[in-house]
């Protein structure tokens, strides 16, 4: 009996010593947890896969009208676009010269224009039998921004097309620019804005933007 008691005591001492020697737990930063759960590459894949899969259904059912595709973009893509950041980049330093209502005017214009751009992007896939999307290279990261390159193959015989999504993370990863067929959508708007401002001034651009929105 004494022998058993000594063995138990020895085991307890060993366990206590082991517990004392364990490396203390290091707290994980909240940002690191978010990064593990929501990496930019996965976010980009989910956004494009959701949009293209839904568009494939429309194509197959012969329901891919402009109106239906526009609704698709509003549901599947628009919530994941960083509209304010996109507008700031497009306006460059002129953003600081605008009051809140004028800023909202341009945000509305960029929203309207980007919806049309994404509809056109989807329409470029004339035949879409299945959706195959892959990350092309390692995702480039700097602070809360990321550059994600995707290869999209809509059918077996198609050559993969390359899309680059420029993303920013505030509450979640969102797209602030997209490069399609070698053209940056937001930079294209920036060129248009700057060209108009140089010729006619910022006030003229504001008036022109109001006219365009009223015609939509």
pLDDT of residue 155: 80
**Are the CB atoms for 47 and 72 separated by under 8 Å?**
no
Q: Which residue has the higher pLDDT, 146 or 14?
A: 146
Tokens representing 173?
A: 């990863």
Q: pLDDT by residue (tens digit) across 108-126? A: 999 999 999 999 999 988 8
pLDDT of residue 8: 42
Distance CA(121)–CA(73), nearest Å, equals: 10
How would residue 96 be classed by pLDDT, with cut points 50, 70 and 90? very high
CA-nearest of 42, 41, 32 to 137 is 41
Class of domain 27-215 (CATH, top level): alpha beta
Distance CA(84)–CA(75), nearest Å, equals: 18
Average confidence (pLDDT) over 71-80: 97
How would residue 38 be classed by pLDDT, with cut points 50, 70 and 90? low
């Amino acid at each position: 009996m004494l022998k058993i008691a000594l063995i138990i005591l020895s085991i307890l001492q060993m366990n206590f010593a082991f517990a004392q020697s364990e490396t203390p737990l290091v707290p994980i930063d909240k940002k690191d947890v978010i990064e593990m759960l929501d990496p930019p590459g996965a976010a980009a894949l989910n956004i494009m896969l959701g949009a293209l899969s839904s568009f494939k259904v429309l194509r197959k059912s012969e329901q891919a009208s402009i109106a239906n595709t526009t609704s698709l973009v509003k549901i599947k893509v628009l919530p994941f676009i960083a509209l304010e950041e996109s507008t700031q980049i497009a306006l460059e330093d002129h953003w600081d010269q605008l009051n809140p209502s004028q800023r909202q005017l341009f945000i509305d214009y960029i929203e309207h224009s980007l919806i049309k751009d994404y509809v056109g992007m989807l329409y470029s896939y004339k035949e879409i039998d299945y959706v195959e999307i892959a990350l092309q290279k390692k995702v480039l990261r700097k602070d809360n921004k990321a550059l994600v390159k995707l290869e999209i193959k809509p059918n077996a015989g198609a050559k993969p097309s390359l899309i680059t999504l420029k993303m920013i993370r505030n509450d979640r990863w969102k797209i602030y620019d997209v490069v399609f067929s070698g053209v940056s959508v937001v930079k294209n708007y920036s060129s248009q804005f700057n060209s108009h401002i140089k010729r006619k001034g910022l006030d003229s651009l504001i008036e022109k933007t109001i006219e365009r929105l009223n015609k939509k």
